[in-house]
Amino acid sequence: MTSGEPPIPTGTEIAPGVRVDPALLRFSAVRSSGPGGQNVNKVATKAELRIEIGAIPISQAARARLVSLASHLVTDAGELIITSDDSRSLRANKDDCLRRLRELIVRAKVPPKPRKKTKPTLGSKKRRLQAKKERGEIKKLRKPPGRDD
């Protein structure tokens, strides 16, 4: 390798352009709930993926968006926990965990579109005031005759 070439990225690609050391992806197998008959009591097929959010090589802004997107999956220690027990196969559940992690990171990397402030149009203001007047007239008709409250 010459000095002008960028280094070859190493690690597992968890999202487009995002690679981490495979040792940072900690999988564990847990007994699954749900369908599976007696198999559910014998085999641990539920996959649980744990990864430190600080270990994911994304920008600070993307990391903040990731934390807000997956706030219910993040522990106080800053660890992201994704579980899957959709399949009876541990391998399929691990793949599902990785797919969900990839989707979260891809969504977090996209900055939100800036909101453009808008003002209500003259027509919408007039329609709103007209609707308020009509509603007020309906309410006035509910009063007994001769009361000026």
Q: Tell me the CATH number of domain 12-109, given options 3.40.640.10, 3.30.160.20, 3.20.20.70, 3.40.50.10420.
A: 3.30.160.20
Q: Where are the domains of the chain?
A: 12-109
Give 10-residue mean pLDDT values along the chain (149 residues): 54 86 90 70 87 92 94 94 90 94 94 94 97 96 79
pLDDT at 11 (0 to 100): 78
SS3 annotation, the chain: CCCCCCCCCCCEEEECCEEECHHHCEEEEECCCCCCCCHHHHCCCEEEEEEEHHHCCCCHHHHHHHHHHCHHHECCCCEEEEEECCCCCHHHHHHHHHHHHHHHHHHHHCCCCCCCCCCCCHHHHHHHHHHHHHHHHHHHHHCCCCCCC
- pLDDT given for residue 1 in this prediction: 45
